[in-house]
Amino acid sequence: MKTPYDILIRPVITEKTVKLNEKQNQLVFEVAKDANKIEIKKAVEKILGVKVIDVRTTMVKPKQKRVGFGKPGYTKSWKKAYITIESEKPINIAELV
């Protein structure tokens, strides 16, 4: 049995996600690869105590990086969730970290 903290790994904080939070009431999280939309919705509602309207997920592909003396290596692939919440004011994502 996965706990809500196993499903939501960390919030993604970038300029784009902060604008999404302010304008469209959307939060962005890195989530477990095997988590589905229903599990993500329940985890956000339990942890943050807000009503979730919509959940959209995407897989972030690995990028090639140099490791050592120019040898190719890759970053990890991960799953990202865009969560639309029902709220009058934006949630401060920095407090969640």
- Which of these CATH numbers, 3.30.420.40, 2.40.110.10, 3.30.70.330, 1.10.3710.10, describes 4-89? 3.30.70.330
pLDDT at position 97 is 59
DSSP 70: T
pLDDT string in tens for the chain (97-residue length): 889 999 999 999 999 999 999 999 999 999 999 999 999 999 999 999 899 999 999 999 999 999 888 889 999 999 999 999 998 777 887 776 5
Q: Bridge-partner residues for 58, per DSSP? A: 80
pLDDT at position 69 is 86
**Tokens (6 digits) for 49:** 């105590």
| Exposure string for 24-43, b = 16+ CB within 10 A, e = fewer | ebbbbbebbeebeeebbbeb
User: What are the domain boundaries of the chain?
Assistant: 4-89
pLDDT at position 87 is 81
Q: Say which residues have a Cβ less than 8 Å from residue 66's Cβ, sequence separation at least 6.
A: 72, 73
Q: Bridge-partner residues for 47, per DSSP? A: none
pTM of the model: 0.88
